[in-house]
Amino acid sequence: MRAFNCAFALACLISAPPARAEAPFDYKGLGDTAWQAKEWNGAAPAPLLVPEIAFAPPNRFTAAAGCNRFMGVYTVSGDRIAFAPQGSTKMACHGERGTTDARLVADLKRIAQLTLSGDGTLTAHAADGAAILRLRCTKNC
């Protein structure tokens, strides 16, 4: 009987779906929050070039990564989100700072979904599921 119980328990564990580490994000909770990247496309951001995203009602955002600040709106449809940068400051950013700005705008346009992990990490995913940004909350967490 003991062998049967062990075999049954093992079979249940093997057939159970894997635990999901990240859950879909409740976009209504973005409100007045701010987030700072701890990972950008799989690597730690360079010091002084760390992407930050702040959200404000109704459906507005600002983003920066060391030089210019970008502003725009985001739209939510089901579990999807889309960012539409609409303007920016106009500082002349040369070298790595300018490249970082261009990467940030391109990546904002690629973001299709947000998920929140148990440790409070907000992950911005591309449409194919790839992680673009992993962020930590810095305001109204």
CATH topology for 21-139 is Lipocalin (2.40.128)
pLDDT in tens, 96-111: 999 999 999 999 999 9
Q: Are 126 and 109 in contact (CB under 8 A)?
A: no
Tens-place pLDDT, residues 61-98: 999 998 999 999 999 999 999 999 999 999 998 999 99
pLDDT digits (tens, 9 = 90+) for 117-127: 999 999 999 99
Check pLDDT > 70 for residue 113: yes
Helix (H) or strand (E) holding 100: helix 96-110
Model pLDDT, residue 75: 97
Residue 60 pLDDT grade (very low, low, confident, very high; cuts 50, 70, 90): very high
d(CA 91, CA 115) in angstroms, rounded, equals 32
pLDDT on residue 25: 76
* pLDDT attached to residue 10: 38
What is the strand order of the sheet 60-64 is part of? 22-24, 111-117, 122-126, 131-139, 34-40, 52-56, 60-64, 69-77, 80-88
Q: Where are the domains of the chain?
A: 21-139
Please tell me the predicted confidence (pLDDT) of residue 21: 61
